[in-house]
Structure 1
């Protein structure tokens, strides 16, 4: 019954391919951090711009599939750039931090003006450190905010972005007294922190925090703690950091059985509750809220990718498309400083595979997300993803 919890004990650098939720990883303490650098190398506006794509080719079988998806998506994005010429150069990291650092340096020595990738947090951190002294920016596919800053930007969806979107919606919907339920691991604690920041930023109330370790006994023990905290605090929402691959199925069964039920309690999820599709069948998630990328943009990207390559893309492939879309949009300006940190963090943002996004000065990103619910085992969009920054959720 509890076999799904084994997933949480897997090596921390693994990517969960089907759900577009990269496992957050501890990173090398030499990460640059802080604000993004404002500078970067000049480009020749009259010649193709050399862009290095670092992918985990040469690694495991799953890494090979991932690498091919990332390359395919990048080439698909290049087709959309009109007159902008990109000289895409592929470098294999084998999913290894040391090799990522080596090929990042090689790419810059061979003329690359910006690096797209790599995937895993420790590899992205190593690549960024390797080329920092040369002022080259790195658009990594990681979603780990602890490696962001300096010359490293993370393209992956972050907990901060998701939490902010959902707490903003909850506040506007009158569900503003929130209890947080999180795992005592890296992802769970980063998720808790993201929710706490979102609660403070949106003027909501943190009504309590319940933590559990990744064991059946701890999950079971957390259930009455949640019930007692909800009752004593008068909370009207419960924000869970867990996913379908970990403790969500058990909490979705046990919490309602313990009396933590809607409509008195609004369940909110930090992860995607629509993937895998079997999650939609859980009785405890019916009526729950979660965030997801712009469904229209995501569907259009998947259709184009499938038409071009014969198979649907892994969810993370969209990040490679996004990186090229951002680079192409900036290069199109015809400015020699198009790929500096100051240019990358322009407020208007970019339009990518899953809707609008922009890079922030701290190296993280902000994405336009929809708020969705599950009703009768079907996904229902409650509030559409914004089409420009400044709309709902921003």
Structure 2
């Protein structure tokens, strides 16, 4: 049932870091990263000296026994080095630390990075490691820009850069409400992670104009999904739902649900299928009959397409699906350092309202450690992605 994601071997030659000052980044000469700075910055990070290279510690799961972590780590490092090379005018010293995918080791290398003079930490990938790292360096005044998409770990000095379910759910709820599909039934898995996602979806609906009229869960197994189908179908019909929102991705229950629910008379046009994961990853998902004309969110395809093309040309392989987060992190750091102030990497600077533009589109870090991202609203039509609403290019009312 699971789709296997593969990437080619890590290219051996790495782009050497250059320096950056302004809040402009070239993505084939076209991508600008903006940072409109607020007044009254606070939370000074004492390690920042604008007249010297700023050390950025990149924490990666190299050395982990988990399959695929070596490829993931290599892709994140390559993306970070590409971002450093794209900057001009300030000096970044990028140092890589291996966490081996272990929270205790992650905390240990984070403390080492602090001792080595890091001004900020980028990474690690998983939430348990990120939490451990945040605690380990809190006393050093260091902020952590983790690659996690788990909003539960956000707060204090830990920020999440990942595409969170909250952002995706809010985007699709708003679109559904504007298109007379705002009565929504949510279908998710009965696991710990599934419960966290369901909670995020329930948070996200507030203020969107949509309403959750029912929810159903399934045991995370093929038989568990099949067993849950009658209850899901009955709940959709009895709740008055206009839409069915799936929290699963292509590696989970999404293919089975989209195939079998229509066999239980839950299908368009009576019910609009919606999702909060990227239905174009992997591309084989686009072939699923049950997902045709369904709605889902994705990062700005124009910007991600430019990044993927550049990355592939540079390293001879496609980037890992989350590699762009490393680019975004370096891009934001470089833009803030471009202001030339000693408080460039403080909490107040990181959370300035205008946000940034990276290879996944616009994003901004929130004071509670979560993020907001501008996402496109897409559908699948004739086995291809069609953009119904483009991703926004700025945050309204940001003051930038």
Q: Which residue of 2 aligns with 1:34?
A: none
The 8 Å contact of residues 239 and 269 in structure 1, kept in 2 or not, is answered as: yes
**275-284 or 329-338, which moves further after superposition?**
275-284
Structure 2 counterpart of 1:317: 323
Name the structure 1 match of 2:60.
Answer: 55
CA gap 1:51/1:184 in 2 versus in 1, 3 angstroms: same
In the TM superposition, 1:226-265 aligns within 5 A as 226-265=232-271
Q: Is the 8 A contact 1:17 1:315 kept in 2?
A: no
Q: Which residues in structure 2 correspond to 1:223-302 (within 5 Å)?
A: 223-302=229-308
Give the C-alpha shift of residue 241 in structure 1. 0.8
Query: How far apart, CA to CA, are the structure 2 residues paired with 1:206 and 1:71?
Result: 40
1:167 aligns with 2:173: yes
SS at match of 2:333: helix
Do residues 141 (structure 1) and 141 (structure 2) align? no
Alignment of 1:18-33 (within 5 A): none
Provide the rounded CA distance (Å) in 1 between the counterparts of 2:50 and 2:71: 34
Quick check: 1:46 aligned with 2:46? no
Paired with 2:338 and 2:6, the residues of 1 have a C-alpha distance of 32
Where does residue 132 of structure 2 map in the other structure?
Answer: 126
CA contact (8 A) 1:42 1:339 kept: no
When normalised by structure 2's length, the TM-score is 0.87
Q: Could you say what secondary structure the match of 1:52 adopts?
A: strand
- Separation in 1, partners of 2:154, 2:163: 13
Whole-Å Cα distance in 2 between the matches of residues 208 and 195 of structure 1?
12
Partner of 1:178 in structure 2? 184
Q: Which residue does 1:23 correspond to in 2?
A: none
Matched-pair contact (CA < 8 Å) for 2:176–2:182: yes
Shift of 1:187: 2.8
1:340 aligns with 2:343: no
Q: Relative to structure 1, is the Cα distance of residues 345 and 52 closer, same or farther in structure 2, using a 3 angstrom cutoff?
A: same
Conserved 8 A contact 2:351-2:365: yes
5+ residue gaps in structure 2? 8-41
Q: CA RMSD in A?
A: 1.8
Shift of 1:186: 2.5
Cα deviation code 1:10-66 (max 9, x no counterpart): xxxxxx778xxxxxxxxxxxxxxxxxx945335111111111111122224622222
Report deviation, 1:362: 1.1
Contact 2:167-2:373 within 8 A present in 1 as well? yes
Q: How many residues align?
A: 362
Check the 8 A contact 2:286/2:384 in 1, yes or no: yes
**Distance in 1 between residues matched to 2:376 and 2:44, nearest whole Å:** 33
Which deviates more from structure 2 when the two are superposed, residues 79-88 or residues 193-202?
193-202
1:147-205 CA distances to partner (integer Å, 9 max, x unpaired)?
A: 11110011111000110111011111111100111101123212212222222221322
Equivalent position of 1:73 in the other structure: 79
The C-alpha deviation readout for 1:322-347, integer Å capped at 9, x for no partner, is 11000000000011101011110111
Contact 2:47 2:118 in 1 (8 A): no
